[in-house]
Amino acid sequence: MSDSEQFVDQFIDDYFSECDEHLATVRRVLLALEDDPSGAATQGGMLELQRALHTIKGLSGMVGLAAAEQVAHTMEDGVRAIGKHPTVVRPALLELLFAGENLLEQAIASRRRHGAPPPTDAYVARMRGAIGHGAGFVGAPVQHVPGMGLALSSDASVVSVEAGARQRFDFTPSAAASARGTGVETVRRWLLSLGEIVEATPRVRAEGGVTFEFVVAMRRGAQPIEEWRADGLEWADFEVMPREAPADMPDAARAATPAANLVRVDLARLDDVMRMVGEMVLTRSRLDAVIERMASRHLGEQEDLEEANEALERQLRNLREGVMRIRLVPIGEVFERMRFAVREMARESGAVIRLDFEGGATEIDKVVVDRMLEPLMHLVRNSVSHGIESRTQRLAAGKPAEGRVSLRARAAGDRIMLEIEDDGAGLDAARVASRARELGLMPRNGRLDDETMLDLVCTPGFSTRDQADMGSGRGVGMSVVRSAVRALGGELFLQSRAGLGACFTIELPLTLMIADAIIVQVGEQVMAIPQLSLREIVPMEELVLTRMENNEMVSYRGGVLPLVRLASLFGFPTTVAANRGHVLVVGSDSQMAGLVVDRLQGLREIVMHPISDPLVTVTGVSGATELADGRVSLILDAAALVRRTTREAHGSTR
């Protein structure tokens, strides 16, 4: 591998994430331009658009992705052409810009897949035709940051930089520096020790190669270290940029631009911090255990220690919440992407669709947001291509010609609800039934309620369309949607009303990491179950046991509760008699189960670790946690156990 390839390799993930960010800006501004054809309110947006495209161009040049570089460049020309006539945004140009964004996404995706980039010549030609002149493409030009002011202190030997003043640093990676372990990441860390990095822009140099320009908002008195120069970092001793004066920027644009006091953090680093907090939680629970032991021996000064321990617990809880808050991002970004997808689909099919958002400011864990993008996209596409009827059908049914898809997000306790609702025809029950019969999946009682219907359409291979169409047939079926939701500890629900529309609800945990859990004993093994998934705990003695074939059940609140003996399910020898132990009642009103455990050990705060290795994935276990004695305990997955039980109890034909 050559040096430059190796360098690109290190940089490529940054490239993808930066491009994602800038493409989001491009999409947002394009949609705003479309909504406001006069363009009067979007001057700031145009600047933003140009800046985003320019950055994508520069970055793409660096990683040698000529297709993306060329498209971004062409789009820049297009944006400038629109800018020259700010009163009339030409629809043709705008349409071309939308097409360009699409092409850019494809080009970048091709790099991600290591595939061939899409052809771009036709696009460039079309844009040139639309602009009416043939602006030449000569590669990304070298850029200079103009006009940097000086701020000298009175003492010439020490440059004291005003707090918040900006200084520019140029870093040119070299093989030699890289061999010493100095790369962009190293430099980032150095600069972070001086202040806040407010800008980081890679520039392609005329002679080839790359220079990163950093602008750092310096902390008062912070000084760069001379030795850094040997590794390719350059800065001017007295070069200080004036504080940014964004007064000429419209408010809307400024609000949308990432503000200077935002810091981008790699999610992996947050995971590290979270893991460390988790370890502290664990250490504190050891402390708990020690204090408890001491209490029995009346050693005095006990109270002080307890007080300190309680304070520590409070502080840890705050710290934990603080770290979790950092991971939260508004779901609105994802909604915006849906708008873009719907626009594309509507344009292809000629349908008129209105997309409503509600609760875009609802904040969700970044990981959850990322993993929900595809499933949400699939549900929205389903609504548009299967749910919403054709214009004629709609008018005949007395509905407005314009179809409506609503995306809603809201927090409910420590769960997040995402709803995707349309005012289309609802799920075609007759069709689902006939397909179910074909596959031998029709329930015995022949009833097709929402829950059964959802189960059916989420069965792999169950598609009621004879042919997958462009919109929905993209390889992610409903079954994948549901397993993606469940993989995050969530659940998918459906409400369908024939002729009136369908509503899918995704219920997700707000965060994934720490929970209060009941510690139980199953056979000799200690296991944990999140307290939130428990409805009630009932001692076995208080229940009347009935046996039907191989199933055990008890009457519970006027109904029947199927029991799962966890010890026998997991193959552990049980330590109590069949009529002893405790029943953990779990599940929803419609599907409940009673998990039988040998003993209860109490309530603890646990740090949840996923168990994802294929060697140890078990149905009914969602992860693991470390208890105070250092031993790992498995965490019970109540939802999976309920599904398993109800499936067996109903004697499904599968």
By beta-carbon proximity to another protein, the closer residue of 493 and 570 is 570
Q: In whole angstroms, how close is the CB of 509 to another protein at the nearest point?
A: 17
Q: In whole angstroms, how close is the CB of 569 to another protein at the nearest point?
A: 8
Quote the tokens at residue 312.
């520590």
Q: In whole angstroms, how close is the CB of 602 to another protein at the nearest point?
A: 19
- Rounded CA gap, 368 and 366, in Å? 5
By beta-carbon proximity to another protein, the closer residue of 167 and 382 is 382
Q: In whole angstroms, how close is the CB of 4 to another protein at the nearest point?
A: 14
HEC per residue, 190-215:
HHHCCEEEEEEEEEECCCCCEEEEEE
Quote the tokens at residue 617.
């994935």
By beta-carbon proximity to another protein, the closer residue of 2 and 154 is 2
Q: In whole angstroms, how close is the CB of 211 to another protein at the nearest point?
A: 21
Q: In whole angstroms, how close is the CB of 615 to another protein at the nearest point?
A: 4
Torsion over CA: 341, 487, 282, 518 (sign):
positive
- Rounded CA gap, 630 and 395, in Å? 66
By beta-carbon proximity to another protein, the closer residue of 560 and 569 is 569
By beta-carbon proximity to another protein, the closer residue of 166 and 565 is 565
Quote the tokens at residue 180.
């010493």
Q: In whole angstroms, how close is the CB of 483 to another protein at the nearest point?
A: 4
- Rounded CA gap, 400 and 13, in Å? 46
By beta-carbon proximity to another protein, the closer residue of 493 and 572 is 572
Strands of the sheet containing 491-497, edge to edge, are: 353-358, 403-412, 415-422, 501-509, 491-497
Q: In whole angstroms, how close is the CB of 239 to another protein at the nearest point?
A: 32
By beta-carbon proximity to another protein, the closer residue of 158 and 179 is 179
Q: In whole angstroms, how close is the CB of 526 to another protein at the nearest point?
A: 8
Contacts by residues 335-341 (CB-CB < 8 Å, ≥ 24 positions apart):
335/360, 335/407, 335/409, 336/24, 336/27, 336/28, 336/31, 337/24, 337/27, 337/373, 337/377, 338/376, 338/377, 338/380, 338/407, 339/31, 340/27, 340/31, 341/377, 341/380, 341/381
Q: Which residues have a Cβ under 8 Å from the Cβ of 362 and sit 6 or more positions away? A: 330, 331, 332, 409, 410, 411, 416
- Rounded CA gap, 173 and 167, in Å? 19
By beta-carbon proximity to another protein, the closer residue of 370 and 536 is 370
By beta-carbon proximity to another protein, the closer residue of 103 and 484 is 484
By beta-carbon proximity to another protein, the closer residue of 51 and 188 is 188
Whether 240 and 151 have beta carbons less than 8 Å apart is answered as: yes
- Rounded CA gap, 581 and 563, in Å? 12
- Rounded CA gap, 97 and 86, in Å? 16
- Rounded CA gap, 405 and 437, in Å? 31
Q: In whole angstroms, how close is the CB of 617 to another protein at the nearest point?
A: 4
By beta-carbon proximity to another protein, the closer residue of 137 and 572 is 572
Whether 315 and 353 have beta carbons less than 8 Å apart is answered as: no
Whether 527 and 557 have beta carbons less than 8 Å apart is answered as: no
By beta-carbon proximity to another protein, the closer residue of 240 and 488 is 488
AA identity, residue 284 = R
Q: In whole angstroms, how close is the CB of 613 to another protein at the nearest point?
A: 5
Q: In whole angstroms, how close is the CB of 634 to another protein at the nearest point?
A: 7
Q: In whole angstroms, how close is the CB of 489 to another protein at the nearest point?
A: 13
Please list the residues that pair with 329 across neighbouring strands: 364
By beta-carbon proximity to another protein, the closer residue of 76 and 637 is 637
Q: In whole angstroms, how close is the CB of 619 to another protein at the nearest point?
A: 5
Runs of H (alpha helix) within 330-477: 332-349, 366-382, 391-396, 429-438, 450-457
By beta-carbon proximity to another protein, the closer residue of 95 and 626 is 626
Block residue for tokens 């009136």: 500
User: Which of 456, 397, 460, 461 is closest to 427 using CA atoms?
Assistant: 456
By beta-carbon proximity to another protein, the closer residue of 30 and 485 is 485
Q: In whole angstroms, how close is the CB of 278 to another protein at the nearest point?
A: 6
HEC per residue, 474-509:
CCCCHHHHHHHHHHCCCEEEEEEECCCEEEEEEEEE
First vs last C-alpha separation in the chain: 52
| H and E: helices and strands count for the chain | 18, 23
- Rounded CA gap, 343 and 340, in Å? 5
**Rounded to 10 degrees, what is the CA torsion of 368, 369, 373, 375?**
40
Binding site for another protein (CB under 8 A): 6, 178-179, 181, 275-276, 278-279, 460-461, 475-477, 479-480, 483, 486-487, 525, 569-572, 609, 611, 613-619, 621, 623-626, 629-634, 640, 643
In angstroms, the Cα distances linking 563 to 359, 518, 619, 640 are 40, 19, 17, 14
